[in-house]
Amino acid sequence: MESTHASMLAGRKALVTGAASGIGRACAHALANAGAAVYVVDRAAEAAKDVAEQIGGTALVVDLSDATAVDALPDDADIVVNNAGLQHVAPIHEFPPERFALIQQVMVEAPFRILRRTLPHMYAGRWGRIVNISSVHGLRASAYKSAYVTAKHALEGLSKVVALEGAPHGVTSNCVNPGYVRTPLVEGQIAAQAQAHGISEEEVVDRILLDRTAIKRLIEPEEVAAAVLWLCAPAAAGITGA
């Protein structure tokens, strides 16, 4: 992939949130390998700096729940990958309202604020790519994940509106909806489920996470990043709102 796409995004700037680990880290590497200059956005300072150093990017240490900090992010990105997220598992009647609000701030309001700032630059250049890392939970629900499911459904709606508004300006907006990916967030869920059910982590993956999936393995972050990169490629210029 590196040799084929080595200069595909030369001269472009990409902003990736949650880029210090997991899917975001893989996306930062993929976009950099394709020639983009990458803003590595994450609240984990040392990890973000490590990724930025590896790819020749710029680390921006930001808490996405802080609206003022989000509004201070660069506005000159040609590519935005809204990836950052967090999870909380609890029945609705026990779900902490402040935790629900935090998840919406990070996973819905922050992407909106980032796009509000960066779209004028994309419109001026007649080119832009928005890729929102959604989830299977952007398409269907799971019990005990009210905040996460709500946020992902909202991100889907935001993405479709951006697709309609951006189309006349050469800007596409799409979602990537993976199932369970081998990330720190999912690994934390696996450990918690194993403890709650008194079974091994391997059994959690096989019996709970992958029970209804066709492909009986965790998806690797690099596979998601490859889909993100493809949506930035010339061949995907006619795909938007998907």
> Which sequence positions are flagged as catalytic?
148
- What CA–CA distances, in Å, run from 68 to 48, 63, 85? 20, 10, 18
Query: What is the signed CA dihedral for 7, 43, 178, 13, rounded to 10 degrees?
Result: -20
Q: In terms of Cα–Cα distance, which of 68, 83, 56 is closest to 151?
A: 83
- 3-state helix vs strand vs coil in the chain, percent to 5: 50, 15, 35
Q: In what order do the strands lie in the sheet with 13-17?
A: 58-61, 37-42, 13-17, 79-82, 128-133, 171-176
Please give the Cα distance from 29 to 128 (Å, whole number). 19
